[in-house]
Amino acid sequence: MTSKELFERAQIFIPGGVNSPVRAFKSVGGTPVFFREAKGSIMIDVEGKEYIDFIGSWGPMILGHSYPPVLDALKNAADRSTSFGAPTELETNIAELICEMMPGVDKVRMVNSGTEACMSAIRVARAYTDREKFIKFEGCYHGHADAFLIKAGSGAITLGVPNSPGVTSGTAKDTLLARYNDLAQVEEILTNNKDEVAAIILEPVAGNMGCIPPKEGFLEGLRKLCDQHGVVLIFDEVMTGFRLSAGGAHKRFNIQPDMVCMGKVIGGGLPVGAFGGKEEIMNMVAPLGPVYQAGTLSGNPLAMSCGYTLLKELNDDPAIFEALEEKTAYLEKGMRQVFDKYNLKVCINRLGSMISFHFNIDEVVNFDDACAADADYFKKVFHGMLKRGVYLAPSAFETLFIARTHSKELLDKTIQALDETIQEIEA
């Protein structure tokens, strides 16, 4: 069957034909590609067409798809049952490794998604501070828990309103919104909500409005404000964790958050999430502390085995991160040369192995900028590249992920495909 036929069939039984909205190509149009298998940085669709993959399952495939050691760990674990619902040494091993790799984590609790990690971290921070409100940033995504599906209300940006039906105004009132990279606004919100804010949660490098690195001093400023106001600083490193360094963004920037949310890489592609942080905060979590949090499949042996295998290699071989930096810088340079060749105004944002590009705009430092970029041009580029066998994220509000398996040959092919695509669009 073709992707088109499979998509028609999928829509009979699955809302929108997908199990996560971004996969439906809604923001770029066209029919989503159905895949059959992937190895390294190549994905093969149901019709046998090959694509150079820049999604990497949205981050986990940092060492490429079907990475043999990960597959071996999976098969090995599966032979001994797929789940116990009881403690295993595997969970302690990966928890110990995460605490070793992440400076901001003394203790960690496994969950089953990034959403669960972020919603649990907010609950713990509220209990720890005995406060109810928290600040998030417009354009940052922390999963689909009600408290995060909030958009800026009319007028003062800080008044949150539900961003999805089903989210109540009661929930929205405790979520305050600020502009990413706008420290002054955060200070104003804290002043206007004195002693009411439990936490500030953010992606230390934003990856859900395209890639937006923190401005100089932004993270340091948030740390200082949190110390001044007794607020828990939560870094959502579901995407950046173990990607921007062996200890995530906070190790790279040398900033100490109070809590860290994790996901993606720590499961090697299997369903996983985790939240961790300072011992005194994490000791609030049941059964040790009063904050209830639980999960039937939390710490699942398959996910733990795959995640541990990946993390161990990332921790043992720092050269991986240098290689990822070089590959992504090479890709950025090639893309810039193509955009300059056609005199296109494009903002390329990159940090480590996260890269994105926004058209017809000089710089993108927050969500407003990302929204002002030319999404139609992005659509054309997306489909031009897809046609030429390059699978970019099907949304201008996503980040591309580079893997160790993106060889120079594959990157050159990508740059060539971009040149042909832009030439075709500009003709």
Angle between helices 301-316 and 89-101 (to 10 degrees): 30
Selected catalytic residue, list 128, 141, 180, 391 = 141
Question: DSSP letters of 341-380?
Answer: HTT--EEEEEETTEEEEEES-S---SHHHHHHS-HHHHHH
Smallest distance, ligand KE4 to C-beta of residue 271, A: 8
Selected catalytic residue, list 45, 236, 369, 419 = 236
* Of positions 3, 41, 113, 181, contacts ligand KE4 by CB under 6 A: 113
Q: Under rule CB under 6 A, which residues in 341-400 are in contact with ligand KE4?
A: 398
Task: From 109-117, 129-137, 149-157, 182-190, give the range in contact with ligand KE4 by CB under 6 A.
Answer: 109-117
What is the C-alpha separation between 286 and 164, in angstroms, rounded? 30
> Is 264 an active-site residue?
yes
Alpha helices in 15-113 (DSSP H): 68-78, 89-101
Smallest distance, ligand KE4 to C-beta of residue 3, A: 18
> Is 174 an active-site residue?
no
The label of the residue with tokens 């995640």 reads 307
Smallest distance, ligand KE4 to C-beta of residue 393, A: 8
Task: From 233-241, 282-290, 354-362, 381-389, give the range in contact with ligand KE4 by CB under 6 A.
Answer: 233-241
Residue closer to ligand KE4 (CB basis): 167 or 415: 167
Asked if 115 is part of the footprint of ligand KE4 (rule: CB under 6 A), the reply reads yes
Selected catalytic residue, list 264, 278, 327, 379 = 264
Q: What is the identity of the amino acid at 236?
A: D
Tokens of 250: 């906070």
Alpha carbon distances (Å) from 184 to 85, 153, 224:
47, 19, 12
> Among residues 154, 226, 122, 147, which one has the least CA distance to residue 183?
226
**Contact code string over 125-154 relative to ligand KE4, x by CB under 6 A:** ----------------xxx-----------
| Count of alpha carbons within 13 angstroms of residue 247, beta-carbon side | 16
Asked if 208 is part of the footprint of ligand KE4 (rule: CB under 6 A), the reply reads yes
**Which residues, including other chains, have CB under 8 Å from residue 136's CB and lie 6 or more apart?**
142, 148, 150, 175, 176, 177, 178, 200, 201, 202
The label of the residue with tokens 């996503």 reads 398
Tokens of 395: 């949304």
Smallest distance, ligand KE4 to C-beta of residue 304, A: 16
> Among residues 263, 284, 264, 265, which one has the least CA distance to residue 274?
263
What is the C-alpha separation between 13 and 11, in angstroms, rounded? 5
Residue closer to ligand KE4 (CB basis): 56 or 229: 56
Q: 3-class DSSP state for residue 37?
A: strand
Task: From 24-32, 234-242, 245-253, 289-297, give the range in contact with ligand KE4 by CB under 6 A.
Answer: 234-242
Q: Under rule CB under 6 A, which residues in 244-303 are in contact with ligand KE4?
A: 263, 273
Of all residues in this chain, which one has the CB nearest to ligand KE4 in the complex? 114
Could you tell me if 135 and 187 are in contact, meaning their C-beta atoms sit under 8 angstroms apart?
no
* Of positions 54, 58, 321, 377, contacts ligand KE4 by CB under 6 A: 58
Residue closer to ligand KE4 (CB basis): 57 or 360: 57
Task: From 113-121, 212-220, 321-329, 345-353, give the range in contact with ligand KE4 by CB under 6 A.
Answer: 113-121
* Of positions 17, 32, 207, 352, contacts ligand KE4 by CB under 6 A: 207
> Among residues 329, 413, 418, which one has the least CA distance to residue 50?
413
Interface size with ligand KE4, residues (CB under 6 A): 19
* Of positions 53, 182, 203, 419, contacts ligand KE4 by CB under 6 A: 203
What is the C-alpha separation between 93 and 111, in angstroms, rounded? 16
* Of positions 147, 200, 238, 304, contacts ligand KE4 by CB under 6 A: 238
Asked if 306 is part of the footprint of ligand KE4 (rule: CB under 6 A), the reply reads no
Alpha carbon distances (Å) from 42 to 37, 50, 56:
9, 6, 10
Angle at 286 between CA 283 and CA 289, to 5 degrees: 45
Residue closer to ligand KE4 (CB basis): 344 or 366: 366
> Is 141 an active-site residue?
yes
Asked if 307 is part of the footprint of ligand KE4 (rule: CB under 6 A), the reply reads no
Asked if 239 is part of the footprint of ligand KE4 (rule: CB under 6 A), the reply reads yes
What is the C-alpha separation between 102 and 260, in angstroms, rounded? 9
The label of the residue with tokens 């088109």 reads 4
What is the C-alpha separation between 266 and 88, in angstroms, rounded? 17
* Of positions 91, 138, 174, 236, contacts ligand KE4 by CB under 6 A: 236
Residue closer to ligand KE4 (CB basis): 119 or 331: 119
Q: Which residues are near ligand KE4 by CB under 6 A?
A: 20, 22, 58, 113-115, 118, 141-143, 203, 207-208, 236, 238-239, 263, 273, 398
| Residues annotated as catalytic (active site), given as ranges | 141, 236, 264
